[in-house]
């Protein structure tokens, strides 16, 4: 029996260099990520061709049986010899060998590798993005749990690496949780735009066969179509958007890692990482190196690099199906999603396992002059001076106290009066109790009741709102995964035909 091929136009097989540089690694990635998905697509396409009367029911059933047998056997059954270009050509050769070219050759009716490949890549990206979203929601859960646990753990707040105003560790973590929530929104939107089916677009302009694109889209779990066929095979902003969302997410996570790494040093001693997330020195016995945090930061750089690659691959390419602009970016996009998923799982572990030293945090919040703003505010409220005048008075006192080696909580009302007389010719007359309250970090936080401030009542309300949002978004992520699983089971079912 004659064997059919798709390489009639060329007479020589791929060169060894072409195989080693291009086809071999691409085929390995396809086997790793896409074998199951491609078989799913073939099953659905064969069923659609039968439903539309394009191929006979007996041929469709024979194709589905052969495809299920191949799926069970795995990609090893494809007898790769690198004489062909990609996974589909090996699948088609396998089918024509098993069923003969009259039946095996019918699967590709009304279809191109252009729409097939971009569909498998969208399905791969969709699945990985769903996994990233699930891992992200677990990190959000841990972050909110720790924010609640440390909602009243007073610490210095920093700007420009300098003491700024007192906050709580829980408030800091709540701010990070809100950034993660925006990351979820970005990734979820990327998922939705990826979740559109290109199948049926053909090479670029559909086909004269009466395909039912909506049927195949639904059977593959897609929410809808990339309707315009030319767009479907030419555009890869789905991969670029998802990778950009991953890069933004890990950029934010790297900033958390920087703070945790600083806070775990001997100079700060605010926190300590779990032993399971640290490394040791081969020569220095005292070392407990924050290896997990350094790995998080390094991974953020790698995903930023992957984003650059996905954009650069398409830049200055024709708006059409071209390998560099449409296919080459798949590798860095998949790499970004896989790295992001793994690092989110690690980050959740790290944050859940930290040991916090509240007394150390509270001591630095009380002594490090972060309460100076509230002291200026108290002067305004109690004396009627303008804020700028109060700012001048407090700055003068703080400068003198630092020069004398004294802490913030050692400032007394007499110093404020002396500075006020020198600067503005009047005393302030604040009571010692009023000054002590202004210099108390816990009292500072209690007074920050403006919307979004760290006051305990605010924290309770904000945490409840975030918990509810996370619960809803976790349910949605779970629903998406269940929907895809159900569609896949339906396609691979009917094993008795």
Question: Which residues are catalytically annotated?
Answer: 160, 281
For residue 115, CA distances in Å to 71, 186, 192, 251 come to 21, 26, 19, 34
- Tokens coding 148: 């609640």
- With tokens 């004659």, the residue in question is 2
- Tokens coding 97: 């060998």
Q: What is the 3-state secondary structure (H, E, C) of the chain?
A: CCCCCCCCCCCCCCCHHHHHHHHHHHHHHHHHHCHHHHHHHHHHHHHHHHHCCCCCHHHHHHHHHHHHHHHHHCHHHHCCCCCCCCHHHHHHHHHHHHHCHHHHCCCCCCCCHHHHHHHHHHHHHHHHHHHHHHHHHHHHHHHHHHHHHCCCCEEEEEECCEEEEEEEHHHHHHHHHHHHHHHHHHHHHHHHHHCEECCCCCCCCCCCCCCCHHHHHHHCCCCEECCCHHHHHHCCHHHHHHHHHHHHHHHHHHHHHHHHHHHCCCCCCCEECCHHHCECCCCCCCCCECHHHHHHHHHHHHHHHHHHHHHHHHCCCCCCCCHHHHHCCHHHHHHHHHHHHHHHHHHHHHHHHCEECHHHHHHHHHHCCCCHHHHHHHHHHHHCCCHHHHHHHHHHHHHHHHHCCCCHHHCCHHHHHHHHHHHHCCCCCCCHHHHHHHCCHHHHHHHCCCCCCCCHHHHHHHHHHHHHHHHHHHHHHHHHHHHHHHHHHHHHCCCCC
How far apart, in whole angstroms, are the C-alpha atoms of residue 438 and residue 435?
5
């Amino acid at each position: 029996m004659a064997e059919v091929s798709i390489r009639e136009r060329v007479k020589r097989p791929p060169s060894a260099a072409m195989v080693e540089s291009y086809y071999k690694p691409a085929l390995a990635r396809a086997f790793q990520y896409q074998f199951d998905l491609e078989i799913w697509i073939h099953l659905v396409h064969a069923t659609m061709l039968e439903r539309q009367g394009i191929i006979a029911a007996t041929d469709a059933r024979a194709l589905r049986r052969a495809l299920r047998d191949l799926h069970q056997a795995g990609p090893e059954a494809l007898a790769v010899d690198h004489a062909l270009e990609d996974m589909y050509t090996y699948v088609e050769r396998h089918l024509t060998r098993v069923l003969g070219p009259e039946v095996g050759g019918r699967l590709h009716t009304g279809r191109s590798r252009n729409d097939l490949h971009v569909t498998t890549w969208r399905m791969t990206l969709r699945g990985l993005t769903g996994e990233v979203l699930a891992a992200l929601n677990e990190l959000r859960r841990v972050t909110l749990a720790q924010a609640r646990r440390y909602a009243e753990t007073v610490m210095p707040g920093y700007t420009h690496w300098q003491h700024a105003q007192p906050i709580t560790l829980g408030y800091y973590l709540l701010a990070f949780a809100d950034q993660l929530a925006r990351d979820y929104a970005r990734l979820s939107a990327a998922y939705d735009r990826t979740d559109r089916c290109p199948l049926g677009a053909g090479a670029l302009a559909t086909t004269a066969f009466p395909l039912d694109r909506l049927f195949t889209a639904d059977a593959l779990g897609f929410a809808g179509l990339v309707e315009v066929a030319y767009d479907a095979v030419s555009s890869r902003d789905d991969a670029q958007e998802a990778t950009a969302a991953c890069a933004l997410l890990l950029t934010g996570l790297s900033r958390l890692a920087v703070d945790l790494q600083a806070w775990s040093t001997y100079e700060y001693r605010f926190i300590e990482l779990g032993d399971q997330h640290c490394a040791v020195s081969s020569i220095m016995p005292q070392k407990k190196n924050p290896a997990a945090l350094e790995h998080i930061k390094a991974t953020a750089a790698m995903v930023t690099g992957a984003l650059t690659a996905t954009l650069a691959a398409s830049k200055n390419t024709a708006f059409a199906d071209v390998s560099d602009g449409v296919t080459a970016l798949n590798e860095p996009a998949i790499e970004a999603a896989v790295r992001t998923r793994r690092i989110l799982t690690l980050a959740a572990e790290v944050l859940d396992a930290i040991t916090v030293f509240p007394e150390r945090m509270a001591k630095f919040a009380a002594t490090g002059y972060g309460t100076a703003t509230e002291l200026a505010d108290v002067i305004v409220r109690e004396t009627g001076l303008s804020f700028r005048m109060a700012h001048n008075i407090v700055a003068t006192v703080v400068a003198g106290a630092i020069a004398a080696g004294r802490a913030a909580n050692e400032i007394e009302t007499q110093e404020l009066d002396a500075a006020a007389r020198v600067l503005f010719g009047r005393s302030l007359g604040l009571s010692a109790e009023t000054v002590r309250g202004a210099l108390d970090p816990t009292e500072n936080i209690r007074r920050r009741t403006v919307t979004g401030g760290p006051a305990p009542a605010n924290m309770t309300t904000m945490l409840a709102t975030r918990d509810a949002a996370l619960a809803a978004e976790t349910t949605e992520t779970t629903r998406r995964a269940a929907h895809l699983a159900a569609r896949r089971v339906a396609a691979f079912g009917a094993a008795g035909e």
